[in-house]
Structure 1
């Protein structure tokens, strides 16, 4: 080894040595994490167990994780399979929630991505002002807009209709912001190469940039589906008749005692458990795509 090499080796700073935790500390860490996870899952386990209990059993043993006499009477009543006099229109709630959520999710993915691309790439007068107004809308609490929203829907004759439930939710300010931030991270060289080949603005957006935005689109899809599926205040001020009740407004009326007397704990918790299944399935299927940056290597050096 030459003298220069030895000198360079002596002057090169050594990499810091990370502290190593022993096996006991790792075991303690795993125990703490598992304990927190079990504490988080406990309410869901109690909810599921109570949905298979009878009414007296749920009132006498509300926190037990195993029913004394397991029964599916609550689910049979929800799906209209029992002979109970007071039926629960759960399937109608489910149908309304499904229709509204699918339409709102698809429209938000389309319109939010188009608006986000316009704010990120197109040069037009008032673009910065429009973005400032977008941020201002995100800063306004939703509860402040409930009365104005009701007045607007009533003025345009959209109150207590499917249009009144869907149209105000077609575009979301947070979704536009997410897509704008993602499109700004896409290299401009990709669009310039497509523009040299003769592609127009919409063709570049639809065929080039949008397929690259799959992580952001999946994130927007999950957030839009969850937001519209769990929406309550908007449906509360935009509808009045039971024909347009969704799962959230129907469950609220069920919890308030509007569908019968008594506590009805198994029935209420069974309906709540069924309403969480679609969102849980969607999230667990796409959780690895939920937050992901632009795919590297889209441009060859």
Structure 2
């Protein structure tokens, strides 16, 4: 009886602990999701009801025309296209540069490679504000101010991406490289035909991170772009807010539309994203 009582007591404690954990997770989920739900709800209201019934998350008479009004009042399609172009080129360039550098640091042993890698990682500790003026001066001398290429170049070299991919590459068996070299495969061939296919989860993870950084970037477009036709979607929302003042339903509609592509991409790629985070680790 004593053993049974102890077992029952342990089970009760286990259920109680799990209940506390689930309750905390539920609270965190609500706190995290509620602002997005409120934003979506506010985008379907009018100016009069958005604050009068602020906690009415399901509008009685949703105003779907708010979304079409955003597209008609500003060139939102142009802002969307600019953001897609900059994000695609930035993400692709970041994946190429980071994977090449990570492969070199992980698989090509040369004198001082570890010290050079640590030195490269140390650049992550430099605040972006400290190098903002030198970067702008460089882009000005290259005649890239008021050009999307300034934004793309600034996103190409990503120390965190190099670190993430290197941690994955060092876990791959060295025998793969040696066998390929014996068969006459070049170093670039090993990288392209063997390493990259195995690194799909890590590449997808870095791709999502790079996409998020580029898509949501507001500071760099604010610094380098002053022409309306070049605005990205984040600058477009600011421009829309300047034109429409406190028309919060339309501002919420514009913000919601800016998030839709990110949400869709994450939903389709979340399996690779979670797998990539799990396998990269901190070995090396």
- TM-score band (shorter)? 0.7 to 0.9
Q: Given the two structures, how large is their TM-score scaled by the length of structure 2?
A: 0.87
- Relative to 1, partners in 2 of residues 1:122 and 1:27: Cα closer, same or farther, differing over 3 Å? closer
> Which segments of 5 or more consecutive residues in structure 2 lack a partner in the other structure?
1-6
Say if 2:269 is the partner of 1:277. no
Tell me if the contact between 1:53 and 1:67 (Cα under 8 Å) persists in the aligned partners: yes
Unaligned runs of 5+ in 1: 1-16, 81-86, 295-301
Does 1 or 2 have the higher relative contact order (CA < 8 Å, sep 6+)?
2
For residues 90 and 172 of structure 2, the distance between their equivalents in structure 1, rounded to whole angstroms, comes to 26
Within a 5 Å distance, the mapping from 1:98-247 to structure 2 comes to 98-247=84-233
Q: Indicate the structure (1 or 2) with the bigger Cα radius of gyration.
A: 1
CA distance in 1: counterparts of 2:17 and 2:182, whole angstroms: 59
Change (3 A) 1:23 1:123: closer
Paired with 2:233 and 2:79, the residues of 1 have a C-alpha distance of 5
C-alpha offsets along residues 212-233 of structure 1, whole Å, 9 cap, x if unaligned?
1111111111111111111111
Deviations 1:107-144 (A, max 9, x none): 11111101110111223355334313311211111122
Answer 1 or 2: which has greater helix percent.
2
Q: Distance in 2 between matches of 1:293 and 1:31?
A: 29
CA distance in 1, matches of 2:177, 2:57: 57
The question of 1:250 aligning with 2:233 is answered: no
| Alignment pair present for 1:289 and 2:254 | no
Q: Alpha carbons of 1:73 and 1:152: their partners in 2 closer, same or farther (altered >3 Å)?
A: same
TM-score, scaled to structure 1: 0.83
